[in-house]
Amino acid sequence: MSHRPARRARRATASPLFTPHGTDRASRKDARRRLAEATTTAHAAAAARPAGTEPADNETPAPLYPASGRPGPGSARGNRLRLPTHCMTTAIAAGAYPFLAEGGLGAEGIYIGRDVHAEASFVFDPFALYGKVDGFTNPNVLLAGVIGQGKSALAKSFALRSIAFGYRIYVPCDPKGEWTPVAQALSGTTVALGPGLPGRLNPLDAPPRPQGTSEADWAGEIRKRRLLLLGSLARTVLGRDLLPMEHTALDVALDTVVTRADTDRAPLIGDVAAALNNPAELDKTAGAMSGRLGDAARDLAHAMRRLVHGDLAGMFDAPSTVAFDPGAPILSIDLSRLGGSGDDTALVLAMTCASAWMESALTDPDGGRRWIVYDEAWRLMRHAGLLQRMQAQWKLSRGLGIANLLVIHRLSDLLTAGDAGSRGRALAEGLLADCSTRIIYRQESDQLHAATNLLGLTSVEMHAIAHLNRGRGLWKVAGHSFVVQHLLHAHELALFDTDTRMQ
């Protein structure tokens, strides 16, 4: 089979001398002759030019055609330019036009930085996007990235810039004390808790009664919150779920303490621990259904004693020394004095108590839009009691005007909540499912498959998160993907710098 083109096939020759199809042999021969003569003349002129007379590189060459344009029919003036139709497959089209990017999320929101693919500014505001973007069902955000890639700077700058939009920031757990300079710069409030510090918080404080709620209904709501808090603390210390009789013991002990407490003073955890440590009184108060309730509450009494006489003594066993200011732009709980020994239990207990103390602001439907930042949240994943409290709060985020920001190092941190099918794993995966926005900074190569499975990343996205530079992250917002370079002002960079000791 011959592969030579047919005689009458239209051919065009691409060479130093372009010869269009349809030209006869004599014309092509004459064109080659004139090209050879022009080349010879140019070489002779270049050889005859004296040294040092070469034209400058920046010298503008003389125009090839006059100002009126190219003369003759080749000018295409007055005619319609016609090009042959070109057909290609979609695979070729994707290679021919690769530089396509989404138009962003709009111009309404907080400035984050630069959209790398679109070469445009990138703004983000979950409250503005809610109801406007398909699939954006909640304002919660997950932020993950290895150490040193700038995820903490992103969280802090986002909080700082949100103040200009009238939002308030609450940090229930600051395990490194990095939010204290930010709160001071914004004239906010910081409560430092730890051994030897004067700060005290009573997690059993009753928040102000909302308007339109009766006294009886509000008393029942406060009682339910206190029982949930005490149950979370007991489960964290004991490392297991409570037995039915232990739930009853907490119930009876709390009612006993509330009945005896003064109307002007909220009950204390120490009072509850003392009531649990009095078996005879528990059996007497429970009446006929006690069933040796005092003996069943023995482990509970020892668990509560840690908050009164253990390593958390002096922090949550006295009336609060700080009054909650709902008008403060930012409130952070500095727990940097805790958790340094490698055991995160004390830190988790302190965060549980601090979160309960802040509920007076979080559950106020008239409190405006608020951000709740859980920094270093990987420490919390192994404690199902705290995860349960967080999930309950996240479910109410839309109704309360709250956006939660969960900051972790690796996506596999979510898997440390428990084995597959366990309650802790289900709670952790539920928190991820309730985040319509996922921000992923660079991940190590051994974490790529876990990130891909948990977030449903494409192969291109998986390859991207392995090679992201500092400050650059993959933003997945309700099915839309962006690669964003976070940009910081010089003052922000100085305020958020966490590498001072390494320099």
Question: For residue 60, what pLDDT is reported?
Answer: 60
- 52 vs 5, higher pLDDT: 52
Query: Cβ neighbours of residue 107 under 8 Å, at least 6 residues apart?
Result: 123
Angstrom distance (rounded) from CA 359 to CA 363: 6
CA quadruple 359, 160, 114, 398: dihedral, nearest 10: 20
112 neighbors 158 (Cβ within 8 angstroms):
yes
Instruction: State mean pLDDT over 194-215.
Output: 78
Question: For residue 365, what pLDDT is reported?
Answer: 64
Kindly indicate the confidence band of residue 13, based on its pLDDT and cuts at 50, 70 and 90.
very low
| C-alpha 46: how far from chain center | 66
pLDDT per position as a tens digit, 105-163: 777 889 999 988 888 889 999 888 887 888 888 888 999 888 888 888 999 998 889 99
Res. 290: pLDDT tops 60: no
Instruction: State mean pLDDT over 190-208.
Output: 80
Question: For residue 502, what pLDDT is reported?
Answer: 44
Instruction: State mean pLDDT over 217-233.
Output: 85
Res. 457: pLDDT tops 80: yes
Question: For residue 120, what pLDDT is reported?
Answer: 85
pLDDT per position as a tens digit, 315-344: 777 888 777 777 788 988 888 887 655 566
Kindly indicate the confidence band of residue 485, based on its pLDDT and cuts at 50, 70 and 90.
very high
pLDDT per position as a tens digit, 399-449: 778 888 988 888 777 777 667 777 778 888 788 888 889 999 988 888 888
- CA-closest candidate to residue 372, choices 380, 383, 361, 381: 361
Question: For residue 431, what pLDDT is reported?
Answer: 83
Architecture category of domain 104-195+330-503 in CATH? 3-Layer(aba) Sandwich (3.40)
CA distances to 91, 108, 117, 263 from 101, rounded to whole Å, are 17, 19, 6, 63
Question: For residue 12, what pLDDT is reported?
Answer: 46
Query: Cβ neighbours of residue 117 under 8 Å, at least 6 residues apart?
Result: 101, 102, 482, 483
The end-to-end CA distance of the chain, in Å, is 73
What is the DSSP pairing of strand 370-374 with strand 168-174?
parallel
Angle at 381 between CA 310 and CA 446, to 5 degrees: 130
Bridge partners, residue 313, by sequence: none
For the chain, the average pLDDT equals 78
Instruction: State mean pLDDT over 208-216.
Output: 77
Quick one: what percent of the chain has pLDDT higher than 70?
81
Instruction: State mean pLDDT over 245-255.
Output: 86
- 259 vs 292, higher pLDDT: 259
Angstrom distance (rounded) from CA 273 to CA 270: 5
- 93 vs 13, higher pLDDT: 93
Classified as helix, coil or strand, 156 is helix
Question: For residue 186, what pLDDT is reported?
Answer: 87
Query: Of the given ranges (65-79, 320-334, 340-354, 370-384), which has the lowest mean pLDDT?
Result: 65-79
Query: Of the given ranges (295-299, 370-374, 392-396), which has the lowest mean pLDDT?
Result: 392-396
Give the start-end residues of each E strand in 260-362. 330-334
- CA-closest candidate to residue 273, choices 240, 244, 309, 238: 309
Please, where are the H alpha helices in 324-473? 345-357, 359-362, 384-395, 397-400, 423-433, 448-455, 459-465
402 neighbors 370 (Cβ within 8 angstroms):
yes
What's this model's pTM, rounded to 2 decimal places? 0.71
Instruction: State mean pLDDT over 17-32.
Output: 76
Sheet-wide strand order for 480-486:
120-124, 110-115, 480-486, 472-477, 437-440, 141-144, 402-408, 370-374, 168-174, 330-334, 189-192
424 neighbors 417 (Cβ within 8 angstroms):
yes
- Give the Cβ contact number of residue 105 at 10 Å: 23
Main-chain phi, psi angles of 499, to 5 degrees: -110, 20
- 406: enclosing H helix or E strand: strand 402-408
Query: Of the given ranges (156-160, 383-387, 468-472), which has the lowest mean pLDDT?
Result: 383-387
What is the DSSP pairing of strand 189-192 with strand 110-115?
unpaired
Question: For residue 281, what pLDDT is reported?
Answer: 79
* Annotated domain spans of the chain: 104-195+330-503, 210-310
Query: Of the given ranges (263-267, 285-289, 444-448), which has the lowest mean pLDDT?
Result: 285-289
104 neighbors 122 (Cβ within 8 angstroms):
yes
202 neighbors 268 (Cβ within 8 angstroms):
yes
